[in-house]
Chain A
């Protein structure tokens, strides 16, 4: 009985060892894709087909010899992404690369991968030759070719373009309004944002998080979600808000403005003490200029004593010298958040 068991186990082992192997690939969003490994054709066949295709399609360039180890779909969707060398048919699973939102359809100039939907064929854009594609022609060579140059069986005029979906979608720039970021697939067990000195998470959910900048100085930040133990990230920057206007203010009104989209609010708007308003410098004393510190940082606190301000629009305002107490001008959003 024991011997029989060993016999069966050994038979199964060697049967598996000597046959073609199934390979399971995974899309960026984790869908399982069926593929398999094949044995290579003979050296003479490789040479024959490579030369044959070089001759038959002289406007294309052979990048790699004919091979039965991999095909067009595997090359475009798997191998160039660092996957194993194997054969991947369109059926049953190729569609998962876009149906699970790992890739999204786009226009030609943004496409990274090309699917010839009438011809059961896939290609990538050449990184070295603008306007050219690279694709493996079945068991034949890997070729660099014009988008519609190749075997007619691929119906090369019918193409769809795909680009990799960001794992976290949301704005690449955050300004005064907190930004919502959403996972394209899966659930996050935790969220984090860095640097914490410049950004904060105002709320987090399993599939999304809201980020608020603490400064508006164009600083870079990174949002990280932990999905199934894997960290996925989204990089972004805060917008940069500076106040434009003269460096010197005399008695005459000086105009200052914020960039479009930034809203000026007055944190403290004390009434000028009655009867004590005066211009500084004194209209009679000549203009002793005060050098303003132009806001290079987003914390736009204009700590200018003796100035009054008049807001004419959301991003235009005017100062003139006034009496104390000091006005502090800040930049914030419509919700009253200030920076």
Chain B
């Protein structure tokens, strides 16, 4: 009888611990409220307005994706006059951002979508792009609905080596702290482990960028970790890769101490 009671007791405990939906909702509400106090960055005044955009009648006349992409290139002379935040805004509003997620590896998807994008190319030529992205990331709600924009996309954009290299050590640490905070918030709010790839990729690339020795050693001794950072950053982390984001986050927590 005592054994049965014990079993029932532990089952009840684990039901409460493992699937704590009410707790999650409560924590989320509090933390989102706190985060929203410093969230939001206004759309820059010099933002580019795409002349043709999905939903417009003219858009329906395109018969190939290539035609659409050509129509969505911001002219170079306009880009030259735009602020860095406005260029980031143009990238943010680029109609094909969701296509990054239609591929199964963030970096592969990002490269495919943005390798020949005029706004992105202009951003890579801005020396303050890294800082601007840091500011943008700091001001973005990591739990923002995709309806309003994809915060994970911003993490992938920021993780590009050229932007990370523009940051000094303090800024890099600040970026790691923001990424950790984003991850904490998502985990508290019940985001599944297989959605941690973007933050794992950002932090992992940062730790590699700063040549954090324990992390570099780990990469050299862990094929999956190395592969995740340099090659196969699965958006939806399959079995065997499940502990990689957590491993990266553990290193990041050590690094910022």
Contact = CB atoms under 8 A, between A and B. Distances in A.
Contacts of A7: 10
B96 interface: yes
Contacts of B10: 6-7, 10
B65 interface: yes
Contact of B65 (A34, A48, A55, A149): A149
B236 interface: yes
Contact of A14 (B3, B18, B105): B18
Contacts of A17: 18
Interface stretch (A84-92, A174-182, A227-235): A84-92
A89 B236 contact: yes
Interface in B17-56: 17-19, 54-55
Given A120-B103, A152-B65, A15 B147 contact: no
- The binding surface of chain B is classed by DSSP as helix
Contacts, number: 124
Contacts of A119: 103
Contact of A36 (B66, B95, B238): B238
A110 B257 CA distance: 61
B234 A53 contact: no
A56 B6 contact: no
A10 B31 CA distance: 31
A56 B69 CA distance: 11
Given A36-B238, A36-B239, A90-B104, A49 B146 contact: yes
B145 A56 contact: no
Given A120-B104, A152-B65, A153-B109, A44 B99 contact: no
Interface residues of A, number: 52
B241 to A, nearest CB: 10
Interface residues on B, range: 35 or more
Interface in A120-178: 120, 137-140, 148-154
B56 to A, nearest CB: 9
B212 interface: no
A59 B236 CA distance: 29
Interface string A48-64: 11001101111100000
Contact of B98 (A20, A53, A152): A53
Interface in A200-217: none
B238 to A, nearest CB: 6
> Would you list the 9 A-B pairs with minimal beta carbon distance, nearest first?
A138-B102, A55-B54, A153-B112, A14-B14, A56-B54, A14-B18, A48-B147, A151-B99, A10-B10
Interface of B: 3, 6-7, 10-11, 13-15, 17-19, 54-55, 59-60, 62-66, 68-69, 95-96, 98-105, 108-109, 112-113, 145-147, 192-194, 232, 234, 236, 238-239
Interface of A: 2-3, 6-7, 10-11, 13-15, 17-20, 22, 34, 36, 38-39, 41-42, 44-45, 47-49, 52-53, 55-59, 68, 71, 87, 89-92, 119-120, 137-140, 148-154
